[in-house]
């Protein structure tokens, strides 16, 4: 109340101060990449998706493959199509009653900190390097329970 009475700038100490710079994000990306493990690719992807979409960690950990999709964004703008990655969230600490909420992001101009690129690297690692079975998306039973961030095939990370 005192700050309001004294007309203190409400933006001080908020996101307006900047939570981190692109240089900071590149350093974070390189840290994970230099560790050179699959779990670090997963952690890097989780970090950048949570950062870009303002997600809580719990929301990222509960995400399953059918909860993510892409849509064309800014149709007929520029020379190439622009797609947004969209996540559906129906539960979590701030959503106790199953409201359908969405998180979304687009590509970052710097490939080292791009959340969509991080997701692609991680899924390539899972399906191309670890040889995890690529699910048949025509059969919902084969992929609807697969976690995006996996500890094993169906269990979320804790």
| 147: β partners | 64
If one counts every other C-beta atom within 10 angstroms of the C-beta of residue 74, the result is 11
Counting residues of the chain whose pLDDT is more than 70, the rounded percentage is 88
- For the chain, strand residue ranges (E) read 68-73, 82-89, 101-106
Rg (CA), the chain: 18
Residue 39: partners with Cβ closer than 8 Å, 6 or more residues away = none
pLDDT digits (tens, 9 = 90+) for 47-93: 999 999 888 888 888 899 999 999 987 777 777 788 899 998 876 66
Residue 101 confidence class, pLDDT cut points 50, 70, 90: confident
Average pLDDT on 107-111 reads: 92
Reference 92, options 102, 83, 84; nearest CA is 102
Which of 24-38, 94-108, 124-138, 139-153 is the least confident region? Answer: 94-108
Measured CA to CA, the distance from residue 9 to residue 12 in angstroms comes to 6
Backbone φ, ψ for residue 71 (5° rounding): -135, 150
**What b-and-e string marks burial along 4-32, b requiring 16 or more CB atoms within 10 Å of the CB?**
eeeeeeeeeeeeeeeeeeeeebeebbeeb
In degrees, rounded to 5, the angle at the alpha carbon of residue 24 between the alpha carbons of residues 28 and 84 is 75
Does residue 64 contact residue 145 with C-beta atoms inside 8 Å? yes
């Amino acid at each position: 109340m005192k700050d309001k009475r004294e007309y203190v700038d409400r933006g001080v100490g908020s996101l307006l101060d900047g939570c981190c710079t692109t240089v900071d994000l590149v350093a974070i990306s390189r840290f994970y990449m230099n560790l050179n493990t699959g779990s670090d690719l997963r952690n890097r992807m989780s970090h950048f998706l949570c950062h870009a979409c303002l997600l809580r960690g719990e929301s990222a950990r509960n995400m399953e493959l059918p909860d993510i999709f892409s849509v064309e964004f800014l149709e007929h703008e520029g020379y190439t199509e622009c797609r947004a990655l969209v996540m559906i969230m129906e539960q979590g600490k701030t959503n106790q009653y199953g409201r359908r909420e969405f998180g979304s992001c687009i590509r970052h101009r710097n490939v080292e900190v791009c959340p969509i690129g991080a997701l692609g690297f991680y899924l390539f690692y899972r399906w191309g390097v670890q040889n995890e079975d690529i699910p048949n998306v025509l059969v919902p039973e084969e992929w609807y329970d697969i976690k995006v961030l996996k500890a094993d095939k169906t269990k979320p990370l804790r």
